[in-house]
Amino acid sequence: MKPARILAIESSCDETAAAVIENGSLLLANTVATQIELHKKFGGVFPEVASRQHTLSIYPVIEETLQNAHLCWDDIDAIAVTRGPGLAGSLVVGFNAAKGIALARNLPFIGVNHLEGHIYSSWVRPANVDRFTPPEFPVMALLVSGGHTELNLMEDHLKYHRLGATLDDAAGEAFDKVARLLNLAYPGGPSIQKAAEAGNSSAFNFPRAKMDGGYDFSFSGLKTAVLRTIKQLESEEKDIPTADMAASFQAAVVDVLLAKTLAAARQYQVKSIVVAGGVSANKALRTAFTGQGEYPVHIPPLFLCTDNAAMIAAAGYFRFINGHIDPLDIDVLPNWPLSRNQ
């Protein structure tokens, strides 16, 4: 049986990426052109700069990916691309490139939800990994990134039920904002993790928003508590214990994410947990989830936690084999929540 190979493109924010996945799992090639250095001076992603850089990078990234996979266009069975959510200007670059390739090569075209892609990063098997076990359904999927924090019950491939989401700041957004309060470098996640390594996570008793036992999240109050503590210390002319504050903040975020995920997993009697999204690269989060002992936990390797096209290719494969082919006249959807009906 001929293997199904999906070439995917991801350009939802500030990473220009392409990848090839074979049969929904085996990663043949993965290329990411990052823009972090371009955006550091802004303290966050500058949308117009991002879209211009995508335009410069997109075709070299695609060509490099095919070369690294040792494939030609005749070996590709379908084109997948991030349709949303994301920055509209960034999405359009990758989306139109993918549509152009699909039209020119007469290949099936598949628009993929970026959040769905993050979930499917746990189905990606790097070529150097011999033993690989995909998540077993039903799955409790925690999406935790700069723009999204939500819990999804995944009953089978492409079948989701959102149980809860953030009501204000996403976890990654909170990391960035608190990093700025502590005068740490952008992006905030890695900076806080590094600072926290020298800190005491019990030094400050920052709040854990429980949200009345539901599965929604809130991190705005935690961010405000950090701000008030800093202002109080400044008013008392005391030094800011950056490491202790970073460690205490990080512990508060991890505690809430773990507690709610485990509670949902128990209620819905799942067989495995998936943790995905940029914040899943956080060492304290990974340690907490892998050490909980109740459920098998699938967290992708670090290079698949942040935005990449391998996850889009994996999700695209399962859409492809289930007949979810899109017409070429569809457009990007910058605000596209993950739902059962996609």
| Alpha carbon separation from 250 to 125, 188, 221, 274, 307 (Å, rounded) | 29, 11, 14, 20, 22
| pTM of full prediction above 0.95 | no
Q: Read off the pLDDT of residues 61-83 as tens digits, 9 standing for 90 and up.
A: 999 999 999 999 999 999 999 99
* Mean confidence (pLDDT) of the chain: 93
Contact 8, 312 (CB under 8 A): yes
Residue 341 has a pLDDT of: 47
297 falls in which pLDDT band (50, 70, 90)?
very high
The whole-angstrom separation of Cα 316 and Cα 253 is: 31
The whole-angstrom separation of Cα 270 and Cα 257 is: 17
Contact 192, 186 (CB under 8 A): no
CATH topology of domain 139-298: Nucleotidyltransferase; domain 5 (3.30.420)
- Mean pLDDT for the stretch of residues 300-319: 96
| Alpha carbon separation from 266 to 91, 154, 181 (Å, rounded) | 37, 14, 36
Pairwise pLDDT comparison (236 vs 45), residue with the higher score: 236
Q: Is the fold of 5-124+304-321 the same as that of 139-298?
A: yes
Give the domain ranges of the chain.
5-124+304-321, 139-298
Q: Which two tokens stand for residue 299?
A: 């967290």
Residue in 191, 151, 184 with CA at minimum distance from that of residue 170: 151
The 10 Å Cβ neighbour count of residue 259 is: 13
User: How does 79-88 read in b/e, with b if 16+ C-beta sit within 10 Å?
Assistant: bbbbbbbbbb
Q: Read off the pLDDT of residues 16-40 as tens digits, 9 standing for 90 and up.
A: 999 999 999 999 999 998 766 665 7
CATH number of 5-124+304-321: 3.30.420.40
Report percent pLDDT > 90 for the chain: 83
- Mean pLDDT for the stretch of residues 160-186: 94
Least trusted range by pLDDT, from 38-52, 119-133, 320-334: 38-52
